[in-house]
Amino acid sequence: MKTNFQSPQQFFRQRRLRLGIVLAILLVIYGVSMVLVNFQTLASLMQVPAGLIWLFKNFIPTERSISYLGPILYQLWRTLIVAVSSTICASLLGLILAILGAKTTSPLPGLRLVIRFGASLLRNIPVVAWAMILLFSFKQSDFTGFLALFFMTLGYLTRAFTETIEDLDGEKLQALQAVGANYFQCVFCGVLPEVASTLTSWVLYMIENNLRDATLVGILTGTGVGFLFNHYFKSFRYDAAGLIVLLIAVLVICLELTSTQIRRAIA
Amino acid sequence: MIENSQSDSKVVQPTPNSKRITLLTKPRLILRGVLIALALVTVYSLVTLDAGNLKFSDAFQSLGANLQAMFLHPGVGQDTWSLLLRALTTSVALAMLTTLLGAFFAFFIAVFSARNLVPSWLATSIKAVMAFIRSIPTILWVLIYSVVMGLGANAAVVGLTFHSIAYLVKAYSESIEETSADTIEALKASGVGFWPIIFQAILPSIIPALLSWTFIRFEINFANAVAVGAAAGADDIGYYLFMASGFYFNFHEVGLIVYLLLGVAIVLEVVSMKLRGHYLQKN
Amino acid sequence: MLKVIQLDKTYGQNKHSLKDVNFTAQPGEVTAIIGPSGAGKTTILRSVNQLIRDNGGKILLDDQDIRQANKSELRKIRHHIGMIFQNYNLISPLTALENVLHGRLGAKSTFAGIFGMYSTDEKQEALALLNEVGLGEYAYQRCDQLSGGQQQRVGIARALMQHPKMILCDEPIASLDPKSTKIVMDILRQLAKEKQLIILINLHQIDIALEYADHIVGINSGEIVFEGPSQAVDDQVLQKIYRQADQPKQAVTANEN
């Protein structure tokens, strides 16, 4: 940082100017976005409390909604299962790709670039696009949701796993090589045990995330609890929709708490 | 399989009368349990996955054909370039709007949910409410608000902002909690009030963390904006994606839209790298 | 004049940290509190500006009892008590100048405080204070780029910016090398003389305390065992201050850093 200010006033003037410019840019961005989206800030913010009140009035499950409990729980279970299995399958493939693609363990340098590029491609296509692309070929089935989540998760986890493996201390690998271990022994006895708990916490995080995304995918592909929500919601059975929201929240929070516990236990 | 790690080494001392040498420590045991449980759930769900009357060979063949149409022959379909670009701009604008609004409100809420600033009962209750809001998927918030405010931009913005606030409050309050208690105490000792401490002491110390979290949320919000267009009919690129693939079955257009989305993602990645580099230099 | 009368502090149930503490500190003098670690030095210092709430007694600063002050009165009193710390406790991404100006925040309205609005005079004064502690050329440097001794001098300038009647120094030289220690202690002694300030210092280096302090308060296990001019401190007194307590003192150490 340069220290050649003539006076404190000059220093503070420059600082204020810089802050002013940043704030002005943010305001302009906000204003332009508001116009582009056609959003009325004040009017909408005023409606928020009313919205919440409406929500509490209509979305509270009543006795009548208990009758929907059966199908809801079933679909919730299906959604959870799709979220878990897509994450696990993606993590297995992701692990293999990460080992092949990480700087420290890659057998071929050329492979690294291909895997990096592929992972970045998979990651950056929104899950919505995946769902819509797959919907055409795989129709309205759990499999569509499974594949959509699978591809996106594969992109994320390959990158996360690669970075985790690359963070590993290179000397530990050299120690194993010095004992005369071959490539597979190095990977399975040296690398994997070291990174296992970090990788598992990434997997747990992705499961949480995918449960939420699975709802969205469900709305688009007509499966799982997302479809059920959409169905009740569009037929004005708000109490049942509210029950779904509540159950999803409970499930996500339980999952979060469990995985926090697991993370602490395996750390 | 032979396990090798430092934590195990103390277990492996050769004691003459131990019957079986174990390499398993408790965390390792739990890790195994978790992995086995997850594997079982996966196998179960793969077996019971409802595939309808899908013929997988046909399905994958058609997927291959579609991917080919998408990525090798992208085109505008029945829409025009200007329409699609405008829709893309709308998505970006939607993401910016909701991130800025979310960051603004989240900062003030985060101040009241940081354990080192307010009594812990208040922090805990605010954090619990935020965890609840966060646990409900963004798209549901948008749909819920679209009943109250009517389908369209306003509901989309409010719904997206809701989830952004809950996400950012968690991130911001954790950043605030990381500022050292001693520096806060130093200003308290000279009689400085609550809000001046926040803006003069805490804010300058955590700006890099706040920026980085806000930018991450911006990326999430962009993906969410696309989702909202597809699922709740906001007039952005998501809507055209939904129409092209779900109604017109025009995979050339889907391909073009995916390319556009990828383009935005790359720009965001570059900007975030620049931003981080800029701040790393300063620190 | 600072007068501490029958100050009492317990942590939890009957774990006494301070017991019947009485002493005075005069303007124009450096008063050092010495004693083994865990004796309660920090607790005394932080009770004086009520960062730690004590359980009983009186703390009179110019005949006003700090313990009786309500929240806004306490803020006003605190504004006239400067404090410097072992770890300097500056806002590290901000410049030295801005950190010194923080000394004025306590005197400002909430609004002016939030936006950091300082008058031209205040800015000039902050720069002058930095020159006084020999850091004029570092005014626009970020604080985390300064050395420990320099940061501590910024801390002193921040305390002076409050126009204090008294400066509390909590182990101000514990993290400094001998050369910086000398600079910092020289500044503190000079301030006491020139500005007629009450300077109250926690120290664990006896030699420094004897060299720089006019007045010594010796404490052991939360009780005052000696108070008097530094010339009166001899081996016998030191033995009394630093004698081993009969039982372990974890209870007291818990809150000392």
Examine the domain organization and report whether A93 and A198 are in the same domain. Answer: yes
Residue A257 lies in a domain: yes
Number of independent structural domains in chain A: 2
Q: Which of A1, A5, A8 sits opposite C126 (nearest CB)?
A: A8
C106 touches chain B (CB under 8 A): yes
Residue linked to tokens 């919440």: A52
Per-residue pLDDT of chain A (267 residues; tens, 9 = 90+): 445 667 888 888 888 898 899 999 999 999 999 888 888 888 888 888 888 888 888 888 887 778 888 888 988 988 898 899 999 999 999 999 998 888 877 778 788 889 988 998 888 888 888 888 888 888 788 888 889 999 999 999 998 998 888 887 777 777 777 777 777 777 777 788 888 888 888 898 899 889 988 888 888 888 888 888 888 888 888 888 888 988 999 999 998 888 888 888 877
Residue A173 lies in a domain: yes
Q: What is the pLDDT of residues C134-160, one digit of tens each?
A: 998 899 989 989 999 999 999 999 999
Contacts of A1 in chain C (CB under 8 A): 140-142, 145
How many helices, marked H, and strands, marked E, lie in chain B? 12, 0
Report the predicted TM-score, pTM, of the whole model to 2 decimal places: 0.85
The domain in which residue A22 lies consists of 1-42
The Cα–Cα gap between A128 and C249 comes to 63
Residue A213 lies in a domain: yes
Residue A224 lies in a domain: yes
In order of A172, A188, A193, B18, B37, the CA distances from B3 in angstroms are 14, 9, 7, 19, 21
Residue A128 lies in a domain: yes
DSSP B132-200: HHHHS-HHHHHHHHHHHH-TTHHHHHHHHHHHHHHHHHHHHHHHHHHS-HHHHHHHHHTT--HHHHIII
Per-residue pLDDT at B52:
65
| Phi and psi based region of residue C108 (left: phi greater than 0; alpha: psi -120 to 50; beta: remaining) | beta
The Cα–Cα gap between A43 and B46 comes to 48
> C45-76 burial, b if ≥16 CB within 10 A, otherwise e?
bbbbbbbbebeebebbbeeeebeebeeeebbe
Write the ipTM. Answer: 0.83
CATH of the domain spanning C1-80+164-257: 3.40.50.300
Examine the domain organization and report whether A19 and A77 are in the same domain. Answer: no
CATH of the domain spanning B74-282: 1.10.3720.10
Provide CB contacts within 8 A for B20, sequence distance 6+. none
Q: Which of A44, A124, A132 sits opposite B242 (nearest CB)?
A: A132
Contacts of C104 in chain A (CB under 8 A): none
Residue A185 lies in a domain: yes
In order of A13, A17, C124, C136, the CA distances from A6 in angstroms are 12, 17, 12, 12
Provide CB contacts within 8 A for B31, sequence distance 6+. A196, A197, A200, A266
Instruction: Collapse the DSSP code of A207 into the 3-class scheme (helix H, G, I; strand E, B; otherwise coil) and give the result.
Output: helix
Examine the domain organization and report whether A84 and A129 are in the same domain. Answer: yes
Q: What is the pLDDT of residues B180-200, one digit of tens each?
A: 888 888 898 888 889 999 999
Domain segments of chain C as ranges: 1-80+164-257, 89-163
Contacts of A3 in chain C (CB under 8 A): 137-141
Residue A57 lies in a domain: no
| Rounded (5°) CA angle C240-C241-C245 | 85
Do C97 and A9 count as a contact with CB atoms less than 8 A apart?
no
* Phi (first) and psi of residue B77, to 5 degrees: 60, -140
Nearest CA distance, B146 vs chain A (angstrom): 10
Examine the domain organization and report whether A90 and A215 are in the same domain. Answer: yes
| All partners of chain B with 3 or more CB pairs under 8 angstroms | A, C
The Cα–Cα gap between A263 and A258 comes to 9
Give the CATH number of the domain where residue A92 resides.
1.10.3720.10
| Rounded (5°) CA angle C17-C21-C26 | 130
Residue of B nearest to C51 (CA): B189
Examine the domain organization and report whether A236 and A126 are in the same domain. Answer: yes
